[in-house]
């Protein structure tokens, strides 16, 4: 397999952190050109710090980390400390990072990298609100034709919402940015709550992380333990959804997932349903398909892949 070049745009977040570790554990398949931080789960200063904490945990201090937008395109930032804790990475004690943040702004890095690399060679992985990516597309519309695919975690259809009754967090925080991405014409692969609510951190799956007997295994078990408490109370499920690693797992083993190529649009006008992903799952409109919206995952294989890969770090 030739290595796929990716940029990870993210707001870590414990589940973002596991996704980043999965990517960094897979140098045979993925070449992580950089990590761009965006405000989301916690404010930008923390997401930019957390991205570096994670790289250092993985021993990959040469991966450049950039800070991006500190607020949505046209709204006030909404954060999710109630899920992820004050730091965004509550659940494990990790040292402050020594590796520097890059001087360039994340949006400049996205634009410059996409323009410099051969067209079609750099895939974007989006694990948070889509502000940085939408800002890059707005500033440099020419890059849209150079991105072969955006794989993103966001939205929901049958599972509806997790931050409001109608909306999933990443899309809710910056619906205007999501709208720009949905209309970009770029090939989109979406991992909504419909997928992640089937990828649950059950007790045996958390214990499998811990049983790796490594610092990474212990840390991932600590993180998943932490947000499991909150999510189990909320959903009454056996375990909490592990959202963002589905994006990286898709790049490694796409046949873990099933979905439909359909029309997906974003509600930006209504206060009641702000950030809703209106997915034409039953194809009841003639609106053109613009995204592959996933719905199914082989959860046991997904967690096996995750544990096997994390064992390599």
- 3-class SS at 228? helix
Residue with smaller CB distance to ligand BDR, 108 or 176: 176
**241 forms part of the interface with Ca ion (CB under 5 A):** no
The partner in contact with residue 83, picked from Ca ion, ligand BDR, none with C-beta cut-offs of 5 to 8 angstroms by kind, is ligand BDR
User: Which residues form the interface with ligand BDR (CB under 6 A)?
Assistant: 13, 15-16, 41, 80, 83, 127-128, 153, 162, 168-170, 243-244
Question: Are 39 and 107 within 8 A, CB to CB?
Answer: no
Residue 9 host element (H or E): strand 4-10
13 part of the interface to Ca ion, by CB under 5 A: yes
State the minimum distance, in angstroms, from the CB of residue 196 to ligand BDR: 7
**Please, which residue, 174 or 244, has the CB nearer to Ca ion?**
244
Measured from the CB atom, is 107 or 127 closer to ligand BDR? Answer: 127
- Residues recognised as catalytic: 243
Strands 264-266 and 277-279: antiparallel
Minimum distance of Ca ion from residue 128's CB (angstroms): 4
Residues ≥6 apart with Cβ < 8 Å to 46: 87, 88
Q: What is the DSSP letter of 13?
A: -
CB of 72 to Ca ion, least distance (A): 14
- Which residue lies nearer to ligand BDR by CB, 41 or 113? 41
Residue nearest to ligand BDR (CB): 169
CB-based burial, 139-173: b 16+ in 10 Å, e otherwise: ebeebbebbebbbbbbbbbebbbbbbebbbbbbbb
Binding mask 123-142 for Ca ion (x = CB under 5 A): ----xx--------------
Smallest CA-to-CA distance from 151 within 250, 25, 225, 233 is with: 250
Footprint of Ca ion on this chain (CB under 5 A)? 11, 13, 16, 127-128, 244
């Amino acid at each position: 397999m030739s290595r796929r070049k990716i940029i990870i745009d993210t707001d870590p977040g414990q589940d973002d952190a596991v996704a980043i570790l999965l990517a960094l554990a897979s140098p045979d398949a993925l070449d992580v050109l950089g990590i761009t931080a965006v405000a989301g789960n916690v404010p930008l200063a923390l997401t930019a710090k957390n991205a570096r904490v994670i790289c250092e945990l993985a021993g990959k201090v040469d991966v450049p980390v950039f800070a991006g937008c500190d607020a949505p395109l046209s709204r006030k930032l909404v954060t999710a400390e109630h899920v992820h804790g004050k730091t965004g990475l509550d659940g494990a004690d990790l040292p402050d990072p020594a590796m520097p943040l890059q001087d360039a702004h994340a949006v400049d890095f996205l634009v410059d990298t996409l323009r410099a690399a051969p067209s079609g060679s750099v895939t974007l992985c989006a694990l948070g609100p889509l502000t940085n990516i939408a800002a890059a597309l707005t500033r440099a519309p020419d890059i849209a034709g150079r991105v072969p695919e955006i794989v993103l975690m966001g939205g929901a259809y049958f599972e509806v919402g997790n931050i409001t009754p109608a909306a999933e967090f990443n899309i809710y925080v910056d619906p205007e940015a999501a709208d720009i991405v949905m209309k970009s014409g770029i090939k989109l692969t979406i991992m909504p709550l419909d997928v992640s609510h089937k990828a649950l951190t059950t007790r045996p799956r958390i214990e499998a992380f811990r049983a790796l007997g490594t610092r990474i295994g212990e840390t991932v078990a600590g993180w998943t333990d932490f947000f499991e408490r909150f999510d189990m109370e909320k959903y009454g499920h056996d375990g909490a959804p592990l959202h963002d690693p589905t994006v990286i797992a898709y790049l490694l083993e796409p046949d873990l997932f099933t979905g439909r190529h359909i029309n997906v649009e974003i509600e930006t006008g209504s206060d009641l349903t702000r950030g809703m992903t209106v997915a034409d799952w039953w194809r009841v409109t003639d609106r053109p398909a613009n995204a592959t919206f996933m719905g199914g995952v082989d959860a046991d294989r997904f967690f096996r892949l995750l544990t096997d890969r994390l064992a390599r770090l």
